[in-house]
Structure 1
């Protein structure tokens, strides 16, 4: 495959409605930065695009909470988020804003092209309207009683108490949050993108062209959406905050945020080009450009289905890959800023990074751990114990330890200079280390090109581990005693330390995409310039010249104290206690629920398990695509269940409760990593979760509304 002429890398535009947490960082921004830094080291033409998403209802809602204006909210959070990224080494070429005039112009032009070409359609619907405020209401501007848990403060899109996704029509006694009055239904007209017209294109492009090179979770989710039948999607809405719809008859309407936000990648590229005297068009219109979107899994449908349709209709290039990450949880629970269960980037920076005297040591500590537990193929979990363990046992004790040993021994045994290398005394251990250095280059670049950043970083640490083993086996300090009797002892010392220093230089090149602050500190110690970090130097055994004086060693990674970790876990305990108190208060004032039928006696409780025991389970949503009775087994049904990435055969004992034709299309929760077992000669590849009511009837445990097969359950 020919190397692309240029690269355009985007990371999902974060909402400028509040601080962003480290789960966001791990999902889209850190992996994108690793990839971009690698491409720059390759000296490729690459532009890294991001910026604040400043429209949509999230912004004015936050403004209401803070008693200010939408403009004040975006002006407050945009610079904070931008600075957070800078402090953690995320090296955007531009961090733009969708409130910028150039974005409004670009988004409006985009809409007009689709409108004029007949690629949009209009449709009249009835939506809730506040007669006092004289405005149509977005879902988040409507509150009411949740039909699921009776929470009186559920929103029109979700109940934040029980987590159920809702529509405004499902709320009991809905009211407008603007006036407090009950809204009325009123007809309104909107423009729609008819995705149903493009199913064949999407199936060909995603499934056939990219089915083997995109992540299975991405392809699986897209396939599920397409197979389920795509529907027209509104591209406008009735709001006073956003980009005005640029056609007649659209007074009071703005572009829907999901439509305008991805166009922000294009407008940001335009602004970057203006700032740097470049031409933006080849980055979006030339097929020799490789476009890659880095996102979290909640953005897959927008970046793999909706935005590509928009780009195709507008005449732009399509993404070459969309390496979406899964979610990162925190200490056993899903991260949530609204619940306070998260670690904001800003908090981490204040607690760890700003307490340093520059150098970015603790910024790299976070980058390292997030990459170590990167949710590339499944949800992962951040724990403060895991953070300290990875930092200490790997980053400090392996990588940092090797670099420090090499420098200390060089100053002690070689006068602070790079010693010569004596080819006549090369042994098998020397040869093995030299081959390891060269091989690591190929391994790391292959893994990065495949978006396997976790594995690539592991290869770098493993090379440092091999360096420690090499030094221990060579033991140059022990050969000092042989100097008087063995004239070749100094040469053996020279060789071991020469190779160790060349390995140190290579480690700086290899680690640079992952830990840029560490790489810079290593350059300082070696007294070399940034040019050494170019990828063409990786694997070379001549990066440091013989006789060159190096600086005294500096500790790359300081010790993390137990008290520092305890302070962080205490913060989370406070949040948890507040949540428990709020739940107890709500329960105490909640109306009594109707009495259920007398339940059958409860089974004796099972033994208590630890979280780690539960974490071993891999629970996924699936859709039953076929079902049939198992011959000579009254209780068993043979099911074919679509898990997004493939179909599983599962034998389930539910035949006494359901007929096969009753459950086709039913969504279920599957224990996906259960060891296969044969039942009546059929290999069952998982287990369906069921609940039993007071009458002994089995019920499926399934999502409240349709969700893509393969979605994780936690």
Structure 2
């Protein structure tokens, strides 16, 4: 059986996770991993926190705390919030000596293989402080879409923005400081050297990529690919182990593959594996499939640069799927910790049952476009589409408990097979969609709610309710977990190696509480 490595790249360790984070990659990755595991597949799910972006420095400065303290505190908050939402990774990346060793070793291999080049690169520079300004340290206009933002990955178009290419760069550390452009020798990965292999790779990926990632890939491949910096002339980050760039650090956004390898190694070890190295699961002959879940603005770093690095080293599997998402808004405005416009997962989970949170976030998931969260809509949607219909269905099942085994017809077995297929289509990683999962869940629950149950079809009804709840289990984790300690999803009744269900003994099913209860 091919092992699946599900990865939700870690957020920057400069704060807690808000609902925008959860509704994007983290809930989707958790649901995907839960379904695949319940369906009998070998799955490792990893996430964590990214500790080396200089956004940690700028946030710490704004908050009046030390960057090291902020990143440790943020990691703990992220873990707590994931747990509050029922998101259960096998591995969680924290900053430590092992991580640093993994990153340095990865780039030492690229360096010794001759895949990195020393090159003069322009950076914004603040003469007053003598500092180069990269990523969070500098803002300006995106040279592709004109949106204002920091250097690095453009949140608007998804392209990578070299610091020296920003339009009208200005310092975020001190907006009144004059800024000029200066050249500095850094190590770069020439992406153009891997154009042919990247074109071939993304041609294979095009059928399953979501629109904004596909558009970004198409746009960047239509022009010369950039020389991507691997080291930067700043102080925050992992020190680069190369004498020709002494005093520089490894570019945080270039750590994507090393971070991912460390993440999956931690996940495997949590499940009892003993690995010789963090990259062991990524060797081509290991037979694993890598599936990424991330926001569309991270596509360049993980999809393009990540694939180029794996191609440069050779012998590694390339990611099989990229499941991206757009922004999730709060009251039709972007989540913003700095403006206090935010709701964290822990805050909401303290007031609302987490199955309802998971269902609503799935229903409004920003799979293909920006979507919105409001507390009023959560109460309305979960009450009308989940809580009240489910409780009516549970009450119907309760009237048939204690009466012994009930007959299940061929018609019901066929209907259950169709229901399984509809859920499987939404969960399948090639077309994975949380909104499709939530839609299928709502439609099937509404069908069961409309069922007028009598003595002749009570067994059919109870059978289809059980199949429904097992299929909904990756989203409704507490409801399904209370009803069925065994999380396995039944195989389609028509499968050749599956004994047909002919009788069922109904069990009393748990009820759901509404948000205000």
Shared fold by TM > 0.5?
yes
1:457 to 432, 435, 438: 438
1:467 CA drift (Å): 2.0
1:557: which partner in 2? 513
SS at match of 1:102: helix
Answer yes or no: is the 8 Å Cα contact 1:191–1:235 preserved in 2.
Answer: yes
SS at match of 1:291: strand
1:366 to 357, 360, 376: 357
- Rounded to whole Å, the distance in 1 between the matches of 2:482 and 2:437 is 21
- Rounded to whole Å, the distance in 1 between the matches of 2:269 and 2:481 is 30
1:677: which partner in 2? none
2:5 matched to 1:14?
A: no
1:451 CA drift (Å): 0.7
Structure 1 residues 406 and 559 mapped into 2: Cα distance closer, same or farther (>3 Å)?
Answer: farther
Structure 1 residues 447 and 184 mapped into 2: Cα distance closer, same or farther (>3 Å)?
Answer: closer
1:399: which partner in 2? 390
1:421: which partner in 2? 406
1:634: which partner in 2? none
Answer yes or no: is the 8 Å Cα contact 1:121–1:194 preserved in 2.
Answer: yes
1:106: which partner in 2? 102
- Rounded to whole Å, the distance in 2 between the matches of 1:543 and 1:509 is 18
1:381: which partner in 2? 372
Answer yes or no: is the 8 Å Cα contact 1:537–1:543 preserved in 2.
Answer: no
What number of residue pairs does the alignment pair up?
492
SS at match of 1:323: strand
| 1:45-444 superposed matches below 5 A | 45-97=42-94, 99-129=95-125, 133-138=129-134, 140-141=136-137, 157=151, 171=168, 177=173, 182=178, 186-207=182-203, 209-275=204-270, 276-279=272-275, 281-286=279-284, 288-315=287-314, 316-350=316-350, 352-353=351-352, 362-407=353-398, 409-410=399-400, 416-421=401-406, 432-444=411-423
SS at match of 1:536: coil
Structure 1 residues 445 and 18 mapped into 2: Cα distance closer, same or farther (>3 Å)?
Answer: same
1:135 CA drift (Å): 3.9
- Residue by residue over 1:415-444, the C-alpha shift from the partner in whole angstroms, topping out at 9 and shown as x without a partner, is x41533358xxxxxx665443222111221
1:330 CA drift (Å): 2.6
- Rounded to whole Å, the distance in 2 between the matches of 1:55 and 1:330 is 28
SS at match of 1:190: strand
- Rounded to whole Å, the distance in 2 between the matches of 1:294 and 1:223 is 20
| 1:469-508 superposed matches below 5 A | 469-470=450-451, 472=452, 474=453, 476=454, 492=455, 495-508=456-469
Answer yes or no: is the 8 Å Cα contact 2:139–2:151 preserved in 1.
Answer: no
5+ residue gaps, structure 2: 142-147, 153-160, 494-498
5+ residue gaps, structure 1: 146-153, 159-164, 354-361, 411-415, 424-429, 477-491, 524-529, 562-714
| 1:447-596 superposed matches below 5 A | 447-449=426-428, 450-470=431-451, 472=452, 474=453, 476=454, 492=455, 495-523=456-484, 530-531=485-486, 533-536=487-490, 542=501, 546=505, 550-551=507-508, 554-558=510-514, 560=516
- Rounded to whole Å, the distance in 1 between the matches of 2:215 and 2:461 is 46
Structure 1 residues 185 and 441 mapped into 2: Cα distance closer, same or farther (>3 Å)?
Answer: closer
Structure (1 or 2) with the larger CA radius of gyration: 1
- Residue by residue over 1:19-43, the C-alpha shift from the partner in whole angstroms, topping out at 9 and shown as x without a partner, is 2221211211111111100111022
- Rounded to whole Å, the distance in 2 between the matches of 1:132 and 1:543 is 80
- Residue by residue over 1:327-370, the C-alpha shift from the partner in whole angstroms, topping out at 9 and shown as x without a partner, is 222322233333333322233234x24xxxxxxxx211111111
> What is the TM-score when the length of structure 2 is the normalising length?
0.86
> What is the TM-score when the length of structure 1 is the normalising length?
0.63
With CA pairs under 8 Å and 6+ residues apart, which has the higher RCO, 1 or 2? 2
SS at match of 1:295: strand
SS at match of 1:535: coil
1:180 CA drift (Å): 7.3
- Rounded to whole Å, the distance in 1 between the matches of 2:234 and 2:246 is 10
- Residue by residue over 1:299-324, the C-alpha shift from the partner in whole angstroms, topping out at 9 and shown as x without a partner, is 11222211110111122210111011
- Residue by residue over 1:547-601, the C-alpha shift from the partner in whole angstroms, topping out at 9 and shown as x without a partner, is x7x45x543233547xxxxxxxxxxxxxxxxxxxxxxxxxxxxxxxxxxxxxxxx
SS at match of 2:323: coil
- Rounded to whole Å, the distance in 2 between the matches of 1:88 and 1:558 is 17
1:50 CA drift (Å): 0.8
- Rounded to whole Å, the distance in 2 between the matches of 1:375 and 1:155 is 22
1:176 CA drift (Å): 8.0
Answer yes or no: is the 8 Å Cα contact 1:48–1:93 preserved in 2.
Answer: yes
1:395 CA drift (Å): 0.5
